[in-house]
Structure 1
Amino acid sequence: MILLDTHTLLWWSGQIGSRLSERAFSLIEEEKAKTSLLVSTISMWEITMLCERGRLGLKQNLDDWLRELEGNPFVKFIPIDNRIAVEANRLPDPFHRDPADRLIVATARLLDIPLLTADTKILDYPFVRNVW
């Protein structure tokens, strides 16, 4: 299993121009074939916030896209529970204060799975397994 960072989800789903690396694309295809692609619910909060503020335009209606994702048999949303919320505030330093990134990293750490991200702040963070 792998957890998709917010931008990775957007690139993979084709909602914005894709910048997936060849390795990232291959990993997604491998995971789709054998298990699920995991997505934190905070990613949907982040995407909705950006759309509502006019900072992100999707190729299709946000609600329709979300229904499509939810109906996809190999996409599984991970809700933010108490353990994830606590872990997000206890991440070892140094890590930046962005709440969405903290919750996504905490989710990957607690599930003990790699996070698929191109975010250099996360790629440089030694306390989470990540791939790109």
Structure 2
Amino acid sequence: MRVLLDTHALLWFLLDDPKLSRVARDVIANAQHRPEVSPASYWEIAIKISLGKYELREPLGAFMDRELADNDIRILPILPRHAAALTDLPFHHRDPFDRLIIAQAMVEGIPVVSTDPLFDPYPVRRIWERRIS
């Protein structure tokens, strides 16, 4: 099963942060699942680092290249059909990064690993506390 990681889920998994739920960790680490990340996530991280809201112990590029490869996390490119889905997406969620992640998940028909309940009004499955198969 393919799963799309929200930005916090990606970071919490890569940094082994206890804020990541056990269910989310198990889904991401399961060899039968294929975790994917949107470029919106590493763009969001870069902006937070540049604003001083987040800090890594190494340059972002080196961190992301190594961690994505080591954890077999694939990049889901932003395609025109993903951007097109944003034109009709209701504004239940106003964060532009999350809106793009939601649009990608909707178009691809894949669940999102996220703690954010603002994803729930959209037609995407959100994985956090409950297991799905």
TM above 0.5, yes or no, is: yes
Cα gap change, 1:23/1:73 in structure 2, threshold over 3 Å: closer, same or farther? Answer: closer
List structure 1 segments (4+ residues) > 6 angstroms apart after TM superposition. none
Q: Which letter does structure 2 place at the counterpart of 1:56?
A: Y
CA contact (8 A) 2:3 2:33 kept: no
CA contact (8 A) 1:89 1:102 kept: no
Q: 1:110 aligns with which of 91, 107, 112?
A: 107
CA contact (8 A) 1:35 1:74 kept: no
- Where does residue 64 of structure 1 map in the other structure? 62
* Runs of 5+ consecutive residues of structure 1 not aligned to the other structure: none
* Runs of 5+ consecutive residues of structure 2 not aligned to the other structure: 129-133
Q: CA deviation at 1:119?
A: 1.0
- Where does residue 21 of structure 2 map in the other structure? 21
- Where does residue 2 of structure 1 map in the other structure? 3
How many equivalent pairs are there? 127
Q: Which deviates further from its counterpart, 96-105 or 64-73? A: 64-73
Asked if residue 90 in structure 1 is aligned to residue 88 in structure 2, the reply is: yes
C-alpha RMSD of matched pairs (Å): 1.7
Structure that is richer in helix per residue: 1
Q: Which letter does structure 1 place at the counterpart of 2:44?
A: E
Q: CA deviation at 1:13?
A: 0.2
CA contact (8 A) 1:41 1:79 kept: yes
Distance of 1:25 and 1:70 partners within structure 2: 15
Q: Which letter does structure 1 place at the counterpart of 2:125?
A: R
TM superposition score normalised by structure 2: 0.86
Paired residue secondary structure (1:19): coil
